[in-house]
A and B are shown apart, each in its own frame.
Chain A
Amino acid sequence: QSALTQPASVSGSPGQSITISCTGTSSDVGSYNLVSWYQQHPGKAPKLMIYEGSKRPSGVSNRFSGSKSGNTASLTISGLQAEDEADYYCCSYAGSSTLYVFGTGTKVTVL
């Protein structure tokens, strides 16, 4: 099972909006509404930001939103802030044979 494809890096100025794509296949992203997104600051554990494609856990800013179209999921960060600078990973359920596949990761830089 190949990793989901994400852009290596995305950048934006404070206050701007950015979108990170996560492209999979009809066996994972396209088949299940089970894409989750994780934020990881350097040296820290990943933190859940979005689950089931577009739902936000309690405590996560509403500046983070998720969506999906076909085999591609997206994470949008609006009103970009300095603390949003981190690595972001998508993850999709991929069925009982593979279980889960992660994205390649995207480094978000706040200019």
Chain B
Amino acid sequence: EVQLVESGGGLVQPGGSLRLSCAASGFTFSSYAMHWVRQAPGKGLEYVSAISSNGGSTYYANSVKGRFTISRDNSKNTLYLQMGSLRAEDMAVYYCARRVAAAGTRGGWFDPWGQGTLVTVSS
């Protein structure tokens, strides 16, 4: 079964740091680009960050650029999101998702998603 399990969320003070992890199983992790998407309480989905299958390329939404770092360890089948200088507006459930795409195309879709991990930013 293809599965993604996030961990590492919790309560952090404004300006603090947190590292999220996403453990993958049931598929060849090193063959897929991986993404982070977040959802603030009662709000919609917001695209956050992406990393290529070999980790050589990364992408960040403007809202997190310079504060968040995405990385992966293909030997451990794990995706990470290092979050720094956290703000109240970063409070959300963070989902990791596998990007699936047709051969030869850049874009694709997300399947599956993890169950999410809640990050609370508050003093």
Contacts and interface: CB of A to CB of B under 8 A. Distances in A.
Interface of A: 3, 32, 34, 36, 38, 44-48, 51-52, 57, 89, 91, 93, 96, 99-105
Given A52-B102, A99-B50, A46 B45 contact: yes
Contacts, number: 61
Nearest to A44: B115
Contacts of A105: 44-45
Closest 3 CB pairs of A and B: A93-B107, A36-B109, A51-B109
B44 A102 contact: yes
B50 to A, nearest CB: 6
Contact of A103 (B44, B107, B110): B44
A24 to B, nearest CB: 13
Given A45-B115, A99-B59, A102-B44, A52 B109 contact: yes
Contacts of B113: 45-47
Interface in B107-123: 107-116
A91 B110 contact: yes
Interface residues of B, number: 23
B93 to A, nearest CB: 9
B25 to A, nearest CB: 16
Given A47-B112, A51-B108, A93-B107, 7 more contacts: A48-B112, A52-B109, A89-B44, A91-B109, A93-B106, A96-B106, A102-B37
A33 B108 CA distance: 9
B73 interface: no
Contact of A102 (B47, B50, B111): B47
Interface string B85-119: 00000000001000010100111111111111000
B108 A48 contact: no
Contacts of B102: 52
A89 B108 CA distance: 15
B66 to A, nearest CB: 17
B44 A45 contact: no
29 contacts: A3-B44, A34-B109, A44-B115, A45-B112, A45-B114, A45-B115, A46-B45, A46-B95, A46-B110, A46-B113, A47-B112, A52-B102, A52-B109, A57-B111, A89-B44, A89-B45, A91-B45, A91-B110, A93-B106, A93-B107, A93-B108, A96-B106, A99-B50, A99-B59, A99-B107, A100-B47, A102-B44, A102-B47, A103-B44
